[in-house]
Structure 1
Amino acid sequence: MSRKRFPRLGAFEPKLIREALVSSVLKLDLRQQKENPVMLLVEIGGILTTISSVIEISTQKSPFFTIFVSFWLWLTVLFSNFAEALSEGRGKARAASLRQSRTSVPARKLKEESFDATFSEISSSDLRKGDLVLVKANEIIPGDGEVVKGAALVNEAAITGESAPVVRESGGDRSAVTGGTTVIANEIILKITTDPGQTFLDRMISMVEGAERRKTPNEIALEILLIALTGVFLAVVANTYSVSAYSAASSGRGSPASLTILIALFVCLAPTTIAALLPAIGIAGMDRLFQLNVIALSGRAIEAAGDVNVLLLDKTGTITLGNRQATEFLTVNGRSNEELMEAALLSSFADDTPEGKSIIALIQEKTGTASFSPENVTFIPFSAATRVSGAQCGEITYLKGAYDAVTKSVLERGGTIPSDLKGKVDGVATAGGTPLVVARNETIFGVIFLKDILKTGIKERFADLRRIGIKTIMITGDNHLTAATIAAEAGVDDYLAESKPDDKLRMIREYQNEGYMVAMTGDGTNDAPALAQADVAVAMNNGTQPAREAANIIDLDSDPTKLLDIVEIGKQILMTRGALTTFSISNDIAKYFAIIPAALIGIYPQLKILNIMGLATPESAILSAVIFNALVIPMLIPLALAGVKFKSMPASKLFAYNLTIFGLGGVIAPFIGIKIIDLVLAGLMYT
């Protein structure tokens, strides 16, 4: 089934660029720049060089060098603002589609929990937590709540993009409803579970826009590193002036480094590239999640996803397709396949369960047809009491079902149990399948092998996770024998069989006590305790209200396999930060060879040996370094927004890979870029 996604916005859509350009200028307000200390200092440097150029003009000194440096410092700040504004604009544009669903609608507030109770009609904005509301067909659900009476078909396309309606009913794990969705059949009474402004949709919009996005531990650690490096380079610049002033005075050669040169030196040595792109990386990561119809309710959740090293996954619906399918017919006591398939067809023709349909499909595949036309057929539906289903054709009874139920019926009819039946049944169970015995009256024909079918590619994904050091654990209510077989076939590292809510909670706590970061997915009320305990908790949007409240990530499509995508995006964010940090710091090497000789060559002529790039003049060398330092920011914006490509490898190998690609690239690129810019500047100067 195709799903409607939220708009996929290109990184450089014209409308977003126009809005980002305007926002870039508005962000020059120093009060906004204080959130990014490195760029704040760059902007202060731009202000000082601008003032310096005005003074030079007033004193009839040549201002062109200072003006050019000042111009490129302002561009550096604007490029940084543009990167952040562009990523914020993408989030706000996506949030606009959600905001359309948040409208004030009339609500029938009930006096008591009864369809016949009196009500008062109020605005949905006046509803409070605990209020009872009646919603009829073709009406919009006025707020987040839980169905306490009745059942209805609900269209949730406004939230999830899914066109197919879903059933919401009281007393089960499908009782939660979201404000802004529409009842299309029947009527329900719901209890409002949130106050105005605190709804699920409100939280989604806030997170998408980034308005309430908190910095994560890794971001804070990286910012501390950037501030520390900035402090070091401030000290270097201050000492450079002191050394140059003392040397010029004592040697009588040259003059102390000017304010413009010192500011240029600081800006080029400070980690401006990663400081400029860091805000964009985090916001873009949330945007990539939103493209998957996944909403992170905290920035910390995404960060934790990148650090996850233990994954707990449900078997049914996550690792397997969710429904057992017939894969093989096993005859007993010398019976033919034709006899077994005929009995299986008659006993399954009216079975509307996924298992029954898969039996018909397997017969169709093996014989080319799966039809019959006997007269006077009465179908026997499956029941929990009998544990069999089948068909009655006159005096003939066809049955399929559990081993003990079918054998009991056969013995009551005077039949015998084939000697090889128990072996076939045990073989299916040992292989992780479910055996269904098929019989006609007192004769048993064989066994149908029902098997949990793994999702395509799931084993390969688990192998990828294992390569990057993530342990996968399958959670299932199956017995240990079946669980062990499926776990081995899927390639998970461990499994928890016959699991109960307290078992899940205990397992999560044990791993956390050992220092692991744990992620899990769930949708039922019984999953809420474990979700609340997990570091990354992904709740299904069609799950219960307790599950959604306990989680820190909501999957609007209710697809449990998204947990694997979430982990990959979390790691991609960490990889992107690490890669761009490596690139930014490596950039400094080339700038040392450009700016240090240019700044001090008048005092120390021997520094000319460091001009290995053969830059034309001290002025062109400094300008080339400043220009490259500014231009590299917009050049890396697409990478910051798209993220570094995810690599399935251990952390140590990933570190070596990033060090090689981005570290070596960060060293080489400035040498080439600064030299090209210097050639252009030299050509312009000489013409």
Structure 2
Amino acid sequence: MSMEAKALLRSSNTSEENLFEKIKPHAELIAALLSGVLILAGWLLDRSEMEAASIAAYLLAFIIGGFAKAKEGIEETIENKELNVEMLMIFAAIGSAIIGYWTEGAILIFIFAVSGALETYTMNKSHKEISSLMELQPEEALRIIDGSEERIHVSELKIGDLILVKPGERVPSDGTIVKGHSSLDEAAITGESLPVSKQADDQVFAGTVNLNGSITVEITKPNNETLFQKIIELVQSAQSEKSPSQLFIEKFEGTYVKAVLAVVVLMMFAPHFLLGWSWTETFYRSMILLVVASPCALVASIMPATLSAISNGAKHGILFKGGVHLENLSHLKAIAFDKTGTLTKGKPEVTDVVVKDGLSREDLLLKVASIESHSNHPLANAIVKYAKETLSESLIRPESIEDVSGYGVKAKIGHDEWKIGKASFVGKSEAKAFADGAADRMASEGKTVVFVQKNNEVIGLISLKDVVREETKQAIDLLKKQGIYTIMLTGDSQTTAAAIASESHVNEHIAECLPENKVEHLKGLKEKYSNVAMVGDGINDAPALATANVGIAMGEGTDVALETADVVLMKNDLPKIADAIELSSRMNRIIKQNVIFSITVIMFLIASNFLQILDLPYGVIGHEGSTILVILNSLRLLRS
């Protein structure tokens, strides 16, 4: 064979494979539609008195339309040793054919195939978020070694590697920017459409898009442990985990199917002897009962709704680790919040700078920041950050610095001696009296006060506060409107806790709460409110997250918190909790509608059959139509 012929054959094979891959997701629907065409052909042939050809067309409709569902039903029956809905449909279709109702049996298979295709569509739709996420992860990275660049597979990246991410490229693995600045589209991670500005020392995540500037990133996590990978695993796990309602329905299905078959067998004989029905009528009514009593709509009431809701949440940056947690959210009576990093930003910020009359505020801030720049304490870092943002002058270098552990820092600039720290470090009475007792007033507002002493005289103070997030009040108010009681847990003093609680609008606060006490407090809250959620972000929150009925972790929190929690907010957006609860309520409401509707239809159709006013075609349409309506109702949850 020539090279050209081989190339042509390879091209032909590739085209066939691509066509098959495109058709594969729609195979059930195509089979159902083909079955419908064959039913029409069978009916036309029957009208033309071509009985043999008509039966052949119906048989093909049975095989093509019913193959997928029959295979599924037989495999599950063998695996679980339990009869299921699919087996009822097979029996009903065969029974219809036996008594000569080929058209009705074929229509039953056709509508059952359509409802199956619709259910598969729902599953595929729910998995679409995962598929699209997995496609976003790049396969290659540009690694920098000794100034030269080499393109490697992302699996070869190691912690500490430096990579170059150019404009328009996706970040291949989690890391920290060491050089350059840019805007990144983090929609795949947080669900937020607006780009986020990033510069040196900022974190970047795998799967996010670098929009406009080249950045050099130091890898901090291997490719298989990135936040992006965790999202994929979380949603995949959630879609495989079944809710309590779904588990109950599946358990109920096996018993119900046995009961239906027992009643059908009884009905094949009892009406003939007790009511004088003909054998044909008795068997006909038995087949109708087999169709209409099947709990297809009831079985389809929950899973499509749960999957649709999980997909909706993933699309908006709310990850549920399973249907059970999604179902439980709407039953919450109270939510406990960790303070630091959850209700607040988790980093102290300068709120006030008070200077002795006659002295320069800028000069004091410059000297204090110059001294504090040599410390790694969070308060010192916050003061330095504030000074750099507000001052035009560069920091200076002190002649000497001495750290006094637990109190503050001493330094010498020129001929002046400086002390920066607690009131007891600079003199309690002098510190308390400074600026007419400003320190006590600030402390009552939940602020931490740092005093500044120059040559044994207190000349200023700087207050700092772990600032409440802008969205916190909105989130708490939304939860209150939903009738949920809110509690803040914090290790801060009673004064600071009261100030933060008031500012964040929570109903109650528990102060001086050590990490090991949080679990005990959660147990107490569960006894009082029955269903309680815990929201946190740190390692010390993990036991409490596991103790609560529903644990909710902030997406920017620690890996331990993410792994322990039941729900993850990918962006630290507290109002999303109210959205998640609303989504849970919508899902439970739709499931309730589905269950009530499906049971009502089944009861109505059974009663109509016993009264001999229901024909098989209408029984098929009523039963399978209700299944399709239930699935369509569940698909409403995919909408925002």
TM-score normalised to the size of structure 2? 0.65
Matched, 1:67 2:103: yes
Contact residue 572 and residue 644 of structure 1 kept, 8 A: no
Distance apart, 1:210 and its partner CA: 7.7
Relative distance call for 1:523 and 1:536 in structure 2 (3 A) is: same
C-alpha offsets along residues 410-462 of structure 1, whole Å, 9 cap, x if unaligned? 959xx9757xx44x7656655656789999x9999999998847735334323
Report the Cα distance in structure 2 between the residues aligned to 1:16 and 1:306, rounded to whole angstroms.
38
1:590 maps to amino acid? F
* Equivalent in 157, 167, 184 of residue 186 of structure 2: 157
Matched, 1:190 2:220: yes
Relative distance call for 1:645 and 1:346 in structure 2 (3 A) is: farther
1:90 maps to amino acid? K
1:280 maps to amino acid? P
Distance apart, 1:502 and its partner CA: 2.5
C-alpha offsets along residues 373-413 of structure 1, whole Å, 9 cap, x if unaligned? 9xx999999x999999xxxxxxxxxxxx999599969959x
Matched, 1:124 2:160: no
2:537 matched to which residue of 1?
523
Matched, 1:262 2:286: yes
1:457 matched to which residue of 2?
474
1:44 maps to amino acid? I
* Equivalent in 562, 566, 571 of residue 557 of structure 1: 571
Contact residue 426 and residue 458 of structure 2 kept, 8 A: no
Report the Cα distance in structure 2 between the residues aligned to 1:234 and 1:311, rounded to whole angstroms.
48
Matched, 1:136 2:174: no
1:329-344 matched pairs, under 5 angstroms: none
Contact residue 129 and residue 315 of structure 2 kept, 8 A: no
Relative distance call for 1:168 and 1:47 in structure 2 (3 A) is: farther
Relative distance call for 1:184 and 1:443 in structure 2 (3 A) is: same
Matched, 1:629 2:623: yes
Sequence identity (%) = 20
1:292 matched to which residue of 2?
316
Matched, 1:93 2:93: no
1:190 maps to amino acid? T
1:670 matched to which residue of 2?
none
Secondary structure in structure 2 of the residue aligned to 1:136: strand
Distance apart, 1:74 and its partner CA: 2.5
Relative distance call for 1:384 and 1:101 in structure 2 (3 A) is: farther
Contact residue 410 and residue 416 of structure 1 kept, 8 A: yes
1:393 matched to which residue of 2?
none
Distance apart, 1:541 and its partner CA: 3.8
Distance apart, 1:225 and its partner CA: 2.9
1:104 maps to amino acid? E
Relative distance call for 1:511 and 1:356 in structure 2 (3 A) is: same
Matched, 1:222 2:262: no
Report the Cα distance in structure 2 between the residues aligned to 1:523 and 1:328, rounded to whole angstroms.
28
1:218 maps to amino acid? S
1:43 matched to which residue of 2?
89
Matched, 1:642 2:625: no
Matched, 1:244 2:271: yes
Relative distance call for 1:230 and 1:427 in structure 2 (3 A) is: farther
Matched, 1:280 2:304: yes
Matched, 1:584 2:598: yes
1:217-616 matched pairs, under 5 angstroms: 217-248=244-275, 254-255=278-279, 257-306=281-330, 308-315=332-339, 318-319=342-343, 404=423, 421-422=436-437, 426=440, 429-430=443-444, 452=468, 455-465=472-482, 467=483, 471-487=485-501, 490=504, 492-508=506-522, 518-531=532-545, 534=548, 536-598=550-612
Distance apart, 1:267 and its partner CA: 2.9
Secondary structure in structure 2 of the residue aligned to 1:100: helix
Distance apart, 1:479 and its partner CA: 1.8
Relative distance call for 1:255 and 1:566 in structure 2 (3 A) is: same
Q: Identify which range, 512-521 or 542-551, moves more after superposition.
A: 512-521
Secondary structure in structure 1 of the residue aligned to 2:336: strand
Distance apart, 1:284 and its partner CA: 0.4
Distance apart, 1:347 and its partner CA: 8.2
* Equivalent in 28, 31, 36 of residue 71 of structure 2: 31
Distance apart, 1:255 and its partner CA: 4.4
Quote the RMSD (CA, aligned, Å).
Answer: 5.9
Secondary structure in structure 1 of the residue aligned to 2:633: helix
Secondary structure in structure 2 of the residue aligned to 1:458: helix
Report the Cα distance in structure 2 between the residues aligned to 1:448 and 1:122, rounded to whole angstroms.
50
Distance apart, 1:123 and its partner CA: 3.0
Relative distance call for 1:565 and 1:38 in structure 2 (3 A) is: farther
C-alpha offsets along residues 37-76 of structure 1, whole Å, 9 cap, x if unaligned? 6531343145314533xx62xxxxxx4xx623x2442244
1:587 maps to amino acid? V
Relative distance call for 1:566 and 1:23 in structure 2 (3 A) is: farther
Structure in which a larger fraction of residues adopt helix = 2
User: Number of residues paired by the alignment?
Assistant: 552
Relative distance call for 1:23 and 1:297 in structure 2 (3 A) is: farther
Distance apart, 1:28 and its partner CA: 2.8
Distance apart, 1:258 and its partner CA: 3.8
Report the Cα distance in structure 1 between the residues aligned to 2:208 and 2:308, rounded to whole angstroms.
26
2:416 matched to which residue of 1?
none
Relative distance call for 1:241 and 1:499 in structure 2 (3 A) is: same
Distance apart, 1:585 and its partner CA: 1.8
Report the Cα distance in structure 1 between the residues aligned to 2:216 and 2:31, rounded to whole angstroms.
48
Relative distance call for 1:593 and 1:159 in structure 2 (3 A) is: closer
Contact residue 309 and residue 638 of structure 2 kept, 8 A: no
Report the Cα distance in structure 2 between the residues aligned to 1:27 and 1:578, rounded to whole angstroms.
31
Relative distance call for 1:619 and 1:166 in structure 2 (3 A) is: same
Contact residue 28 and residue 113 of structure 2 kept, 8 A: no
Contact residue 337 and residue 343 of structure 2 kept, 8 A: yes
Relative distance call for 1:460 and 1:20 in structure 2 (3 A) is: farther
Distance apart, 1:490 and its partner CA: 4.7
Secondary structure in structure 2 of the residue aligned to 1:277: coil
1:30 maps to amino acid? A
Which structure 1 residue ranges, 5 or more long, are not aligned?
Answer: 1-14, 57-62, 110-114, 331-338, 359-370, 389-400, 599-617, 647-687
C-alpha offsets along residues 308-363 of structure 1, whole Å, 9 cap, x if unaligned? 55533233565467789999999xxxxxxxx99x99899899999999999xxxxx
Q: Identify which range, 555-564 or 277-286, moves more after superposition.
A: 555-564
Relative distance call for 1:235 and 1:473 in structure 2 (3 A) is: farther
